Amino acid sequence: MKSPTLRRWSVIHTWSSLVCTLFLLLLALTGLPLIFHHELEHLLGDAAVLREMPAGTAHLDLQQLVSKAEQHRPGEVVQYFGFDKDEPDGVLAITAASAGTEPNASHTFMLDARTGEAVAMPAANGGFMMLMLRLHVDLFAGLPGKLLLAFMGLLFIVAIISGTVLYAPFMRRLGFASVRRDKSRRLRWLDLHNLIGVVTLTWALTVGVTGVISALSDLVIAAWRNDSLAAMVAPYQDAPVLSERAPATRLLAIASEAAPGMRADFIAFPGTRFSSEHHYAVFMNGATHLTSHLFTPVLIDARTLEVTAVGDRPWYMDAMGLSQPLHFGDYGGRPMQILWAVLDILTIVVLGSGVYLWLDKRKRAREAKA
C-alpha cells in the first residue's frame, strides 16, 4: 500500500502529466526537425545561397544595403540587419510596413553584402521549417500561445519532479534499470516508462526549464524595454519626433569602438522594439560559444551618430539568451544535435507509454467495477 504522501504525489504526477502530454508530444515532434534546422533548410532548398564571387570582393556600406533592401521591398522599411559569422558575405534583412510592425508580419531575406542582391529565404517566411517553428513556439497564436506553452512546460517540470519522487522507493524494491520481462505487458511498460524517465531526467528538466524561459521571451523583452532600455533613452523622453536620421554607413565601426573585442550580431533600426524612436541599437556579443549568446546593446543617436549608452545585461536577458540555443542543442555541434535528437525520441516514448499506462489503468478499473 502506498503511504498518503506517495498517493498525493501519484495524483500530482498523473494529472500534471496528462494535462500537458498532448502539448508535449507536439513540442517533441516539432522540436525534432528544429534540432537539425540548418541541415534541413539546405536539404529542402530553403536556405539562402549566395553566388560565388572572387575572394576578397569589397562589400557595400550599410546605407547602400539599406537602400537595396528597401528597393527589394517597395513601401517597406528596414527593421533589422543581422550578421552571421558563418556567412560573412551575407546580411540578413528584415523589413515591414513600419518599424513597429510585429515580427510575424515582417519579411526576411538575405542581402549579398558585395552586390546588394536580395536572396530569398523560404524557410524564414513559410514552408515546412517555419510551420514546425511556429507550432513549437506559439501554436500560431502569438503571445497567448506562448503563455499556454509556458504553462504546459511548468506542468512538465512538476511531472518530472513528482515522477522522481515516486520512482525513488520503487528503485529500492526493484533495483535501478530493472525491467520485469517475465511479467505482464503493462508492468514491462511501467518499468520501461520509469527507466527511460530517469535516464532522460536531467535533459528533460533542462529542456523544460529553457523552454519555459523561451516561451516567456515576449514578457522578458517587455521587461527589458520598460527597465533597462527606458533608462538608457530617458534623456530623449521629451525630444521632438525624429524627422531625419543619419546614414547607417558607420554604425558597425562606431559600435566596435564603444564595445572593443566584441562583434555585431544585429542592428535594430529606430522605432523597433529593440531600439527607440531616436536610436540605432547595435547588439554586440562575444566570440566564444557562451558569450556569443550574451548581448550588449550600443545605443547610437540616429541624428548625430553619437554613442549615448552602452547597456549592461540584466540577468533575465542573459537567461533568455543562453536558454534558447541550449533548448535546441546548438552549443556542441553535430554530436550534441544527435544526442538531443535521441533524448527527444526517448521522451516521446515516455509520453506515449504514460498515456498507455493511464488508459490501461482506467480500463482495469472499469472491468473491476463490472
Three-state SS string over the chain comes to CCCHHHHHHHHHHHHHHHHHHHHHHHHHHHHHHHHCHHHHHHHCCCCCCCCCCCCCCCCCCHHHHHHHHHHHCCCCEEEEEEECCCCCCEEEEEEECCCCCCHHHCEEEEEECCCCCEEECHHHHCHHHHHHHHHHHCCCCHHHHHHHHHHHHHHHHHHHHHHHHHHHHHHHHHCCCCCCCCCCHHHHHHHHHHHHHHHCHHHHHHHHHHHHHHHCHHHHHHHHHHHHHHHHCHHHCCCCCCCCCCCCCCHHHHHHHHCCCCEEEEEECCCCCCCCCCEEEEEEECCCCCHHHCCEEEEEECCCCCEEEECCCCHHHHHHHHHHHHHCCCCCHHHHHHHHHHHHHHHHHHHHHHHHHHHHHHHHHHHHHC
Mean pLDDT of 339-360: 90
Task: With a cut of 90, say whether residue 122 has pLDDT above it.
Answer: no
pLDDT at 186: 78
Task: With a cut of 80, say whether residue 146 has pLDDT above it.
Answer: yes
Does the predicted TM-score (pTM) go above 0.85?
yes
pLDDT at 290: 73
Residues of the chain above pLDDT 90, percent: 62
pLDDT at 182: 67
- Indicate the domain borders of the chain: 4-39+136-214+329-369, 48-120+243-302
Task: With a cut of 90, say whether residue 195 has pLDDT above it.
Answer: no
Q: What is the pLDDT of residues 240-272, one digit of tens each?
A: 999 899 999 999 999 999 999 999 999 999 999
Task: With a cut of 70, say whether residue 175 has pLDDT above it.
Answer: no
Task: With a cut of 70, say whether residue 283 has pLDDT above it.
Answer: yes
Mean pLDDT of 46-54: 85
Q: What is the pLDDT of residues 204-226, one digit of tens each?
A: 999 999 999 999 999 999 999 99
